[in-house]
Amino acid sequence: MEENKWVEVINTLSYKGFNCVLSGAKWEKEFLNKIVEKCIMMPRVFTAKNGILDNAAFLKNAVCLLV
């Protein structure tokens, strides 16, 4: 999805009271940061230092906090 569409989605979710987190690979960090700079409510950025296993652990912990 293009950068501006992500910004629109994040801003809409933020207005509805959601806290957004952008998650991706290390090589995507620059793209994610560009999105964050354009958002009204700045989401957090998580990039997995050790690859997909870190991403999986991050998502597992996030889901556990919601349940």
Per-residue pLDDT band at 64 (split at 50, 70, 90): low
- Ordered DSSP codes for 35-58: HHHH-SSPPEEEEETTTHHHHHHH
Segments making up each domain of the chain, as ranges: 3-66
Decide if pLDDT at 65 tops 70. Answer: no
pLDDT value for 63: 64
In order of 10, 45, 61, the CA distances from 29 in angstroms are 17, 8, 21
pLDDT value for 60: 80
pTM for the structure as a whole: 0.74
Q: Which of 7, 14, 15, 12 is nearest to 31 (CA)?
A: 7
How do residues 12-47 score in pLDDT, each as one tens digit?
A: 999 999 999 898 888 899 999 999 999 999 999 988
